[in-house]
């Protein structure tokens, strides 16, 4: 195994300080120890004995629902009874819808005719109202009396008529 020179020098210096003579064996033990720490964690253990297995008894609590069978049966009967009522009411609703549809189809043309007659009568009523209205007579307006002042004395001349008065 190749070890970087700097690390190998540090290990040799450590061995000299601690009076370790077999440097190769020390390095191999250090690698094993580092590997074991990586593998098993940083807890103390003895490699000569197998790990002790401790069995623990765990109680598991299971909840069981408690039911009242008589009440449960009564509820089931009520549900069945209500389901039958729903079916019956849905059938009645369908029958009523059909009868309403039949009535609307049979009376539909009658209602349409009556609505048309109402519209025609409204139009005739408006025509009769308008026939009797006479147009209002226009009241002839009386010319206002002439104003007293400069307007009566001076006759103003428009610009187009003034061109012959002034030479350009």
At residue 121, does pLDDT exceed 90?
Answer: yes
Q: Pick the more confident residue, 108 or 73.
A: 73
Residue 77: its pLDDT value, please? 93
In percent, how much of the chain has pLDDT > 70?
72
Residue 33: its pLDDT value, please? 87
Q: Pick the more confident residue, 66 or 23.
A: 23
Domain extents in the chain:
5-40, 81-130
- Mean of pLDDT values over 2-7: 87
Query: 35 falls in which pLDDT band (50, 70, 90)?
Result: confident
Length of the chain: 168
Residue 91: its pLDDT value, please? 94
Residue 122: its pLDDT value, please? 93
């Amino acid at each position: 195994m190749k070890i970087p020179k700097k690390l190998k020098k540090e290990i040799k210096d450590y061995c000299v300080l601690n009076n370790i003579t077999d440097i190769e064996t020390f390095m191999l033990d250090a690698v094993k120890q580092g590997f074991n720490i990586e593998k098993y964690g940083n807890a103390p253990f003895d490699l000569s004995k197998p790990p002790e297995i401790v069995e623990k008894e765990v109680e598991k609590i299971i909840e069981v629902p408690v039911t009242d069978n008589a009440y449960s049966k009564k509820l089931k009967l009520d549900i069945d009874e209500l389901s039958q009522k729903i079916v019956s009411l849905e059938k009645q609703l369908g029958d009523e819808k059909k009868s309403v549809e039949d009535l609307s189809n049979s009376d539909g043309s009658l209602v349409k005719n009556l609505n048309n007659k109402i519209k025609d009568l409204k139009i005739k009523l408006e025509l009769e109202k308008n026939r009797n209205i006479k147009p209002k007579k226009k009241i002839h307006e009386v010319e206002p009396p002439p104003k007293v002042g400069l307007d009566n004395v001076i006759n103003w001349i428009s610009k187009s008529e003034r061109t012959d008065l002034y030479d350009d």
